[in-house]
Chains A and B, each alone.
Chain A
């Protein structure tokens, strides 16, 4: 079946430094949809970014990611971390644009310090 692998565990950063959270995936389908969801403390996950176009950068709320099918990757980046970026980030994969069933990675916790 499908699988998603993310940077494991906790990533700690000082405010102002760049953010990069890794995400790679495995699927037998040639046209996967990739997503980043963010979950702040005591909240529910919500969509941050999504893409299904190869080699096209997608951006939202200062974050960006590019789907690279050649390397099966969808890394999340931000040029300058803010304290409010501290959260749990999930990369997710969908193999179908109809069904909408997602496979999530295990999540990466980002903690930004002043």
Chain B
């Protein structure tokens, strides 16, 4: 079973502050993703990465940056947090080959921006 670990699990931030959400995977997957989950909207893709050094914009990238410094780590950065970014954030990893397109999700980070 793929292991994807997110930190922190819960975060309270102030409007205008900087927030960094971290994700680590130990299965050597090439692809990593950041989604946010909101009632009525489901899972929406923010940023994703094909490998170390690469980041790509997903469907809702505005207000977010991403960083993939290594195969294992993928961070989501909110430079100036806003209350509209209050949500549950999920990191996921996946790869091609026999399990192509299967995503393995972390436990999620609940972010509240006050």
Chain A residues proximal to chain B, CB less than 8 Å = 1, 33, 35, 37, 43-47, 50, 90, 94, 97-107
Contact = CB atoms under 8 A, between A and B. Distances in A.
Contacts of A94: 101
Interface size class of chain B, counting residues whose CB lies under 8 Å from the partner chain: 20 to 34
Interface of B: 31, 33, 35, 40-45, 48, 50, 58-59, 90, 94-96, 100-108
A100 B42 contact: no
Contacts of B96: 97-98, 100
Contact of A90 (B42, B50, B108): B42
Q: 8 smallest A-B Cβ distances: which pairs?
A: A106-B42, A44-B105, A104-B43, A107-B42, A100-B101, A100-B94, A100-B31, A94-B101
B95 A100 contact: yes
Given A44-B105, A94-B101, 13 more contacts: A33-B100, A47-B102, A90-B42, A97-B100, A98-B100, A99-B31, A100-B94, A100-B96, A100-B103, A101-B58, A103-B59, A106-B41, A107-B42
Select the residue from B33, B44, B102, B104 with max chain A CB neighbours within 10 A: B102
Contact of B43 (A47, A90, A98, A100): A90
25 contacts: A1-B59, A44-B90, A44-B105, A44-B106, A45-B90, A46-B104, A47-B102, A50-B102, A98-B96, A98-B100, A99-B31, A99-B50, A100-B31, A100-B94, A100-B95, A100-B100, A100-B103, A101-B45, A102-B101, A102-B103, A104-B43, A106-B40, A106-B41, A106-B42, A107-B42
